[in-house]
C-alpha cells in the first residue's frame, strides 16, 4: 500500500474516532421509541407511543430551518398497578413556543417505577418560511 493511501486511511480513521467518541460519551437521550416528520403548510407533527417500563423519557423537536420557532407540548399518562397519573394535570395543558431545536426531559406526574406510560408529543413550526418539523420520543 502506498504512503498516500495509508495517509488517507489514517485521516479517515481519525475522523471516524472524532465523530463517534462524543456521541458515545455524551450518553444521548436514549432509545428512540417514536417519531413523526411532517412537511405540510404549516409543518405539524404528532407522535404518540406507549412505553413499557419507562425510564427517563425525553422529547426532541427539530425544525427546518434549524433555528425556527417551534410551538410544542406533551402529555404523559402513566400506570403502575391500579395507580394512574397524568402530566400535565387535567385542564392545565399549554403549549410552549421556543427557538429550536427543543430537547426536554418529560415529566410523568410523580408516579415512580411506572409499568407503562402513554406519551404524546406535538410540534408545529410557526414561521412562514418553515419547511419541516420532526418530533421524537426517547426512553433511557
Q: Give the pLDDT of the chain (140 residues) as one tens digit per residue.
A: 555 554 454 444 554 444 444 444 457 899 999 999 999 988 999 999 999 999 999 999 999 998 889 999 999 999 999 999 999 998 898 899 999 999 999 998 888 899 999 999 999 998 888 899 999 999 99
* C-alpha cell, 30: 436514549
Q: Give the integer Cα–Cα distance in Å for 75 and 89.
A: 9
How far, in Å, are 8, 14, 17, 19, 86 from residue 3 at the CA level? 9, 16, 21, 24, 63
pLDDT of residue 77: 96
Q: Give the integer Cα–Cα distance in Å for 100 and 86.
A: 26
Cβ neighbour number for residue 139 with a 10 Å cutoff: 21
pLDDT of residue 127: 83
The CATH code for residues 29-139 is 2.60.120
Amino acid at each position: 500500500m502506498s504512503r498516500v493511501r495509508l495517509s488517507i486511511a489514517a485521516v479517515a480513521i481519525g475522523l471516524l474516532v472524532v465523530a463517534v467518541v462524543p456521541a458515545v460519551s455524551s450518553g444521548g437521550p436514549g432509545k428512540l421509541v417514536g417519531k413523526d416528520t411532517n412537511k405540510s403548510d404549516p409543518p405539524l407533527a404528532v407522535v404518540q407511543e406507549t412505553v413499557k417500563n419507562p425510564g427517563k423519557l425525553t422529547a426532541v423537536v427539530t425544525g427546518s430551518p434549524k433555528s425556527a420557532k417551534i410551538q410544542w407540548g406533551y402529555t404523559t399518562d402513566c400506570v403502575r398497578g391500579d395507580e394512574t397519573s397524568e402530566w400535565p394535570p387535567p385542564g392545565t395543558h399549554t403549549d410552549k413556543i421556543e427557538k429550536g431545536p427543543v430537547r426536554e426531559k418529560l415529566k410523568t406526574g410523580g408516579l415512580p417505577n411506572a409499568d407503562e406510560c402513554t406519551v404524546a408529543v406535538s410540534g408545529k413550526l410557526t414561521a412562514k418560511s418553515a419547511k419541516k418539523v420532526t418530533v421524537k420520543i426517547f426512553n433511557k
